[in-house]
C-alpha cells in the first residue's frame, strides 16, 4: 500500500515539474522583461552636462570623463549604444549605483544619448 502512495506522489511531482518547465519564463525572457525602455528625447548637451555635474558623476568619472574610480567615458559611445548606457545608468552596474530614483527617465535618456555621441 505504501509503495502505491509513494509512486503516486512521485508521479504527481514529475508531472508538476514538467508543467513548470514549460510554463516558467527562461533566463532571456526575464532579462528582457526587466530591461528598462528608453524614452524618446531630443539630446540637449547643456542639460546632460548639468545633470552629470549635479549628480556628482565627476567624483567617479572625472571632470573630463577621463575615469578614476569609475571607468573612462570619453569614448564610451564607440563601445555602448544609448540604450545600453540608459540601462546601466537606470539599473546600476558593478560599483555604480542606480539612478532611477534620483533622475527622471528623460534626464537619464538625455545623458545616455549625450554619452553615446562620444566616439
Q: Residue 58 burial by CB count (10 A; 0-12/13-18/19+): exposed, middle or buried?
A: middle
pLDDT by residue for the chain (119 residues), tens digit each? 688 888 989 999 999 999 888 888 777 766 666 678 888 888 888 999 888 888 889 899 998 999 888 999 999 999 999 999 999 999 998 889 999 899 999 999 999 999 999 98
pTM value?
0.71
Q: Which residues pair with 93 in a beta bridge?
A: 96
pLDDT the model gives residue 30: 62
Coil/strand/helix, residue 105: helix
- Provide long-range contacts, Cβ within 8 A and 24+ apart, for 44-50: 44/110, 45/114, 47/107, 47/110, 48/110, 48/111, 48/113, 48/114, 48/115, 49/114
Amino acid at each position: 500500500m505504501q509503495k502505491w502512495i509513494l509512486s503516486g506522489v512521485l508521479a504527481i511531482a514529475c508531472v508538476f515539474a514538467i508543467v513548470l518547465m514549460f510554463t516558467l519564463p527562461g533566463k532571456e525572457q526575464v532579462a528582457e522583461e526587466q530591461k528598462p525602455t528608453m524614452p524618446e528625447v531630443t539630446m540637449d548637451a547643456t542639460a546632460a552636462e548639468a545633470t552629470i555635474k549635479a549628480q556628482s558623476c565627476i567624483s567617479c568619472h572625472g571632470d573630463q570623463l577621463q575615469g578614476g574610480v569609475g571607468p573612462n567615458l570619453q569614448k564610451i559611445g564607440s563601445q555602448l549604444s544609448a540604450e545600453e548606457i540608459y540601462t546601466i545608468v537606470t539599473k546600476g552596474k558593478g560599483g555604480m549605483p542606480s539612478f532611477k530614483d534620483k533622475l527622471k527617465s528623460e534626464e537619464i535618456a538625455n545623458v545616455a544619448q549625450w554619452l553615446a555621441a562620444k566616439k
